[in-house]
Structure 1
Amino acid sequence: MIQQNSAAFPSSQRLYCVQFKGGRLDIFYVPEGSGLAIKAGDLVIVDADRGKDLGKVTHEDVSIEAARELKTLQHNEQQAALQQNTFDESGNTKPLADSNMTAILQPKQIIRFAQPMEIQQLFVKKIDEEKAQKICMTKVEERGMPMQIRDAEYQWDRRKLTFFYTASHRIDFRDLVRDLFRIYKTRIWMCAVST
């Protein structure tokens, strides 16, 4: 069950669904009094994990119930991917300690419309992500790690680089993350995805 954190935003706040690379969706709001008239199709700069990201508004006036459903679905998909990749020494599926944890709906804010120069940077970002994915795949092969790197995604401000992977069992990728940090000098995040 998803709970709304009343301290995050007023319940009267309009919610928007914003899409990022790979179809990843999240829920955002526009602060009251900002003067922003956001509509579906707009490219916007949003608050992200310790920084800013650029995405496309897919839905406006999202209801609290629809936002909760999306967050529940995302939570369940992430838990399923982690469950799939979490095995004990015998090869049996190991239950996750926090699999019954309640996710909280905490939308971040849409800051402003993306500017033309920022939108043009998306092409360079895509090329850099493809290079990062190839480098990560090479590092995984060099280490003989039983995992596949499916994609790479920079946060728009380059403060975070996420690698999406699949694996048949739990992977200790701490050394890999250290190697990647030495190359990219940014926060590295490994995200399990379902096969």
Structure 2
Amino acid sequence: MDDQLSIERGCCKKSAGTCSKLEVYDWLNDVVNKSGEDDIIEVRFKNTRKDYYRNVNNLKLKAGDIVAVEASPGHDIGIVTLTGALVKHQMKKHKVTLINGEIRKVYRKAKTVDIDKWREAMSLEHSTMIEARKIAVDLKLNMKIGDVEYQGDRTKAIFYYIADERVDFRQLIRVLADTFRIRIEMKQIGARQEAGRIGGIGPCGRELCCATWISNFVSVTTNAARYQEISLNPQKLAGQCGKLKCCLNFEVDSYIDAQKDFPPSNVPLDSEEGRYYFQKADIFSRILYYGANGSKGLPPVAISVERAKEVIRQNKRGKKVEKLSDGSADKSLKKAQGFEDVIAEESLTRFDEPKPRHRKKKRYPKNNSSRRPKKKS
């Protein structure tokens, strides 16, 4: 039963704990905390919602246990995701809900009655969300209800919504309360948070970062793509949430550090062959590509960063270099390759060519020497 509930809530049970959205690996699980200050546990609810509770009854809890915890009003049902000393470190990253200035409590391990009621409440969430969307459309509210989460005792429901502008949903709350006969709580979320709650697979082939480990969303701009020499194609830069991908910020600091001593890209290089303009850069190989005007018909040239700065210095003195390339970039390209494809593993047509046929050797019986050809004397 516990395994089925874990799957319904979006996580899978393992022998050492749970794997779920925003999972935390307890690397202190084999360390004994002698201070005794490990009475706070981390509990996960639907999708990415987590909170922290005090184990006042000294229950023996481990990751994966289903517990009944304090709520306002009533009680809620959740899954334990973390215990021990690491919980205090997690509390610094996530916001903790307090009641009268104190951390809420763990009541008990969930009973069969609690689990049955929780399962019944979960089965109503999708139909409630669809009905709530229809009510919002009838009231002509410019908002989208993205998800609904029932409390474990089915006395309260959280409606997660997305809105670009401020929405007056007081009338909506009254209609929802009369329709579903429960207490209503409205919580606004962003597009990235909605993608994290729903989940999915990104273009990289892995699960969305916002659904697995990202808890704080930092703004992403197109400058991150410019620093990394990525094409400014909106279809490729946008994630499933419709916003710029969060992963654009992951390596941008390394690219910025690598380009600190690069020459400005808007300065042309003059040589006796013609004037060259910046086209692109291989940042970590420190190679710059310059192309000439189309009328000259000159091919693009790859030069090193040091060579580009040297040419700019000579151009400022009024001198033109004889040739733009000095061969230093070719050496860097050879070092960057590091291997040679001697068996054509990267060729897409290597299986199309017919294999050469080998002639079979004639076999003769061992005892029949008359059939063997005689050697010429």
Is the structural similarity TM-score above 0.5?
Answer: yes
Structure 2 counterpart of 1:18: 43
Matching residue within 156, 162, 165 for 2:161: 165
- 1:41 corresponds to 2:35: no
1:75-97 CA-to-partner distances (Å, cap 9, x unmatched) read 9xxxxxxxxxxxxxxxxxxxxxx
1:45 offset after TM fit, Å? 0.2
Structure 2 counterpart of 1:120: 116
Structure 1 counterpart of 2:93: 69
SS in 2 for 1:17: strand
Q: Which amino acid letter does the alignment assign opposite residue 115 of structure 2?
A: I
Residues in 2 aligned to 1:176 and 1:153: alpha-carbon distance in whole angstroms: 17
Q: Which amino acid letter does the alignment assign opposite residue 38 of structure 1?
A: L
SS in 2 for 1:38: coil
1:43-63 CA-to-partner distances (Å, cap 9, x unmatched) read 000001221000000000144
Residues in 1 aligned to 2:44 and 2:61: alpha-carbon distance in whole angstroms: 14
Residues in 1 aligned to 2:87 and 2:68: alpha-carbon distance in whole angstroms: 21
Residues in 2 aligned to 1:191 and 1:29: alpha-carbon distance in whole angstroms: 25
CA contact (8 A) 2:39 2:58 kept: no
Structure 1 counterpart of 2:52: 27
Unaligned runs of 5+ in 1: 1-10, 76-103
CA contact (8 A) 1:177 1:188 kept: yes
Residues in 2 aligned to 1:137 and 1:42: alpha-carbon distance in whole angstroms: 34
SS in 2 for 1:71: coil
Residues in 2 aligned to 1:161 and 1:189: alpha-carbon distance in whole angstroms: 6
Residues in 1 aligned to 2:156 and 2:89: alpha-carbon distance in whole angstroms: 30
Residues in 1 aligned to 2:184 and 2:58: alpha-carbon distance in whole angstroms: 35
CA contact (8 A) 1:71 1:105 kept: no
- The aligned length equals 153
SS in 2 for 1:58: strand
Matching residue within 106, 112, 136 for 1:110: 106
Structure 2 counterpart of 1:79: none
Structure 2 counterpart of 1:56: 79
Q: Give me the identity figure in percent.
A: 29
Residues in 1 aligned to 2:65 and 2:160: alpha-carbon distance in whole angstroms: 26
1:105 offset after TM fit, Å? 7.7
Q: Which amino acid letter does the alignment assign opposite residue 152 of structure 1?
A: V
**How much is the aligned-residue C-alpha RMSD, in angstroms?**
2.2
1:12 offset after TM fit, Å? 3.4
Does 104-113 or 137-146 show the bigger shift? 104-113
Q: Which amino acid letter does the alignment assign opposite residue 53 of structure 2?
A: F
Q: Which amino acid letter does the alignment assign opposite residue 51 of structure 2?
A: D
1:17 offset after TM fit, Å? 0.5
Q: Which amino acid letter does the alignment assign opposite residue 90 of structure 2?
A: A
SS in 2 for 1:21: coil
Question: Normalization by structure 1: what TM-score?
Answer: 0.72
- 1:144 corresponds to 2:140: yes
Distance 1:194-1:105 versus aligned 2 partners, 3 A rule: farther
1:13 offset after TM fit, Å? 5.3
Residues in 2 aligned to 1:159 and 1:68: alpha-carbon distance in whole angstroms: 30
1:117 offset after TM fit, Å? 3.1
CA contact (8 A) 1:68 1:105 kept: no
Task: Flag the structure with larger Rg.
Answer: 2
Question: Normalization by structure 2: what TM-score?
Answer: 0.38
CA contact (8 A) 2:121 2:151 kept: no
Residues in 1 aligned to 2:94 and 2:68: alpha-carbon distance in whole angstroms: 21
Residues in 2 aligned to 1:44 and 1:168: alpha-carbon distance in whole angstroms: 37
1:185 offset after TM fit, Å? 2.3
